Structure 1
Amino acid sequence: MDLSGKRLVVTGGAGLIGSVLAERLADDNDVLVVDDLSNGVSESVPDAATFMEGDLTDPAVVADVITPDVDAVFHLAAADKYVDTDEPREQFETNSRMTHTILERMQEVGVSNVAFTSSCTVYGEAGEPTPETYGPLEPISVYGATKLGEEALLSVYGHTHDFTVWTFRFANIVGPRFGAGVVPDFVEKLTEDPETLTILGNGKQTKSYMHVTECVDAMCHVVEHTDEPVNTFNLATQSTTSVDRIADIVSEEMGLDPDYEYTGGERGWEGDVSTVLLPIDELLNLGWENELSSDESVRKVARQLIDRQE
C-alpha cells in the first residue's frame, strides 16, 4: 500500500509509538489521531494531524472516526499491559471489544486496510528464538492473551472478509515520549536517588530494545511492501540487552555509579517473560534493516531523556 495522499486513522496516536507514527504519516497523508489519553498525552500529537479524544470501545465514537473515505486504520490503542495484575478482566474485555468494534465498522463502510500492533508476549515463555511461524502460542500474561485473541480476530477479517491485515509483534520499543518502560524508570529513580538503583527481578532479564523511530520506519516499510490477507512481522533489533546492562548504560549517561538492589526472582513483574529472542528474518528479507543495536537504542533514549531534564 502506498503511504502517500491517503486518509489514515491512527488509534492510540497520543502514545509513545502512535505519536511518532502519526508524525511520520502526516508528512504525506491526511491523518486523524484518536486517543482517550489513558496511556498518552495530547501534547505528543503532531500539529500536522487532526486530534479527536474518544473512547474507541464506544460504537458511536468509532462511527465518527471511521468513514467511507478512510483508506487505512493503524490500530495502536490498547489498555496498558502494566495494569495486568490490577484489572485483568477489564483489560482483556476492553482491548477485545475495541478491536472488534473497529473491525465491524470498517467492514460496514468498506474500509479494508488495517495495521495492528501486537506484541512478542503472544509467544509466551518460549525460551528459544520465536520466528513468526513459531507455535504453539502460549502467552503467560493477560496482555499477551488479549493480543493473541485480537490477532485471531484480525485473521478472520483478512481471510474471510477480504481485508489486508498487517500485524506487528513488537519487542520492547523505547523512546523519549510518554510511555512506561525500564529506561525512563531508571532515569527517574536515579534522578531521585543517585546512590542506589532498585531493579525489578534479578537484572538478568534479556530482551531486544528497539528505538521508536526505527519501529515506525519498519512498520511503514512492511505496509508499503506486502499485501497478503494477513502479514505478520516481528519487529526488533538483531541483538538483546539485559536489564543490568540497561542500568549500566543509564548510569554511565548520567555520570553515576549507584549500588544496585534487586527485588529478586526471574521476572520483573507478574506475567513478565524473562528472556525474549525475536528473529527478524522476514523483515530483513523485505529489505529493511536496523541502524541501531539494542544497546545503542537504549543509550540513545537514555541520552534523550536526560537532555530533556537539563
Structure 2
Amino acid sequence: MKVLVVGGAGYIGSHCVRQLIAAGHEPVVLDNLVYGHKGALTPEVPFYEGDLGDKEFVGKVLKDEGIELVMHFAAYCFVGESVTEPFKYYENNVVATLRLLEVMHEVGVKKFVFSSTCATYGVPERLPMTEDLAQAPINPYGQTKLDVENILKALSHAYGLSFAAFRYFNAAGASVDGSIGEDHQPETHLIPLVIDAAVGKRENIKIFGTDYDTPDGTCLRDYVHVDDLSRAHIAVFDKLSEPGQAFFYNLGTGTPNSVREVISAVERVTGKKVPVIEDVRRPGDPPALFADSTKAQTELGWKVEFDSIDKIVETAWNWHSKNPNGYND
C-alpha cells in the first residue's frame, strides 16, 4: 500500500517508516521538521517538507503520490508546554489535523491511522487500563488527542472514513541497528535522560516522589518499544478495507516499571553509575499507569517483542552511544 506518514521524520514516525518498508509497503514522508530530523529519514523514501495544515500542498502530495492511507504522527506532545501554550497545541494538533482530514476527504483518501495517547484517559479509574475507561484528560495535550478521536468518529459516520486510533503509553527505545533513535529538544522522556546522567551529559537524574503506594515508592509506567508500537499500526491496515470502520487500541506491555527500575536497567546496560537526587512529587503524576493491550493482541495478532526494560534500554543505549549528540541536523 502507498502510505503517507505525516511526521515521518520524528521519533515514532521514522521508526514506523522502517517497519512499513519491512512489511512491503511504500511509505512517503511529510514533515515540517519543527521537531523532526533529516537524519531520521530513509534516503530512498520520498520526502516532502511542509505543514499538514496546508491543504493545497498536502492535496498535491496525496494525488501525485497516489496515497491510499495516511498515518498521523505529527502532533506536538510536550504535556507541560501544552499547559502554558494551549494555542500552539490546539492549532497544530486539532486545527491542522482537521485541514489534513478535509483534504483527504476531498481527494478520496479514506483510510487513516492515528497516533493517540493514554493521556486521553487522565487519571484512570482502574488498572490495568482498558479501552472502555472514561476519557477525562487533565491537560491540553491529552484533550487535543481526544478532540481528534471525536472528529474521526464523526467523519467515519458521515463520510465512511475508516480509521484506527492507538492510545499508547511510554514510547521508548531505538532501532536495533542503532541507525535511528530518540532525539527530542527538549528531552522529557525518562530513559534518554537517565542515559545522559550515566554518561555525564547531565549532573544527575531527579526522582520526583519516593513515597507513592508502589513497591519501591516511585511512579510506575508502561514502557513499550517504538518498533513494537509501529508494528501494531501496520497490523490494523487489513481491518480498514471496508468504509466506516472505527477502531481504538491501547498499546503497552502491561508490565510497568518504576523510576528506580529504569535507573537500575540503565546502570546494568551501560555499566555506569547514575547519580540520583530524590525530590518531592510533581503535581498531577499518577502513582501508576499501565495498559491492558488484550484487544490489540486478540484482534490484530500484535505481540510485544521487547518484553523487558533491559531489552528496551539496550536499544536506546546502542543509539545514544553511536550518536552522543543526537542527529547532526
* Residue 149 of structure 1: how far off its partner (Å): 0.3
Offset at 1:189?
2.2
The reply on whether 1:283 has 2:296 as its aligned counterpart is yes
| 1:160 matched residue in structure 2 | 158
> How do residues 43-62 of structure 1 correspond to structure 2 at under 5 angstroms?
43-62=39-58
2:15 is aligned with 1:20: yes
Q: 1:140 to 1:294 in 2, by over 3 A?
A: farther
**What is the deviation of 1:255?**
1.8
Verify the 8 A CA contact 1:196 1:260 in the aligned structure 2.
Answer: yes
Contact 1:209 1:297 in 2 (8 A): no
The aligned runs of 1:12-161 (5 Å cut-off) are: 12-27=7-22, 28-67=24-63, 69-82=66-79, 83-129=81-127, 130-135=129-134, 137-161=135-159
Distance 1:282 1:272, change over 3 A: same
Deviation per residue, 1:268-303 (Å, 9 max, x gap)? xx6554421210110121222212224244333343
- How many Å apart are 1:87 and its aligned residue? 1.2
1:131-178 Cα offsets, whole Å, 9 max, x none, are: 11112x111111100000010001111122101101100111112313
- Which structure 2 residue ranges, 5 or more long, are not aligned? 175-180, 211-216, 325-329
Opposite residue 267 of structure 2, the aligned amino acid is S
> Is residue 189 of structure 2 the alignment partner of residue 190 of structure 1?
no
Pair 1:79–1:194, CA change in 2 (3 A): closer
What CA distance in whole angstroms lies between the structure 1 residues aligned with 2:288 and 2:297? 22
TM-score, length of structure 1 as denominator length: 0.89
Q: CA RMSD in A?
A: 2.2
| Pair 1:255-2:271 in alignment | yes
Retained in 2: the 8 A contact 1:175–1:211? yes
Alignment of 1:159-238 (within 5 A): 159-176=157-174, 177=181, 178-179=183-184, 180=187, 181-192=189-200, 196-202=204-210, 204-225=218-239, 229-238=245-254
Runs of 4+ in structure 1 over 6 Å off: none
Q: Aligned AA for 1:276?
A: L
**Alpha-carbon distance in 1 for matches of 2:320, 2:313:** 10
Query: For the residues of structure 2 that align with 1:157 and 1:294, how far apart are their CA atoms?
Result: 38
- Structure 1 gap ranges (5+): 1-5
Q: TM-score, normalised by structure 2?
A: 0.84
**Which residue of 2, 5, 11 maps to 2:6?**
11
Range that drifts further, 300-309 or 169-178: 300-309
Separation in 1 of the partners of 2:163 and 2:71? 10
User: For residues 117 and 217 of structure 1, what CA distance do their matches in structure 2 show?
Assistant: 13
Matched residue of 1:79: which SS?
coil
Q: Deviations over 1:189-216 (max 9, x none)?
A: 2222687432344471211111111111
| 1:259 Cα deviation from its structure 2 partner | 4.2
The answer as to whether partners of 2:253 and 2:304 remain within 8 angstroms in 1 is yes
Q: Secondary structure at the match of 2:28?
A: strand
C-alpha contact (below 8 Å) 2:71/2:114 kept by paired residues: yes
Residues 56-100 of structure 1: per-residue CA shift (max 9 Å, x gap): 122232223322831000011111324224312211222101210
The 1:260–1:224 alpha-carbon spacing in structure 2 relative to 1, beyond 3 Å, is: same
Q: Distance in 1 between matches of 2:286 and 2:32?
A: 28
Residues 53, 195 of structure 1: alpha-carbon distance in 2 compared, 3 angstrom cutoff: closer
**Distance apart, 1:32 and its partner CA:** 1.4
Could you tell which deviates more after superposition, 152-161 or 113-122? 152-161
Structure 1 CA distance, aligned partners of 2:113 and 2:3?
11
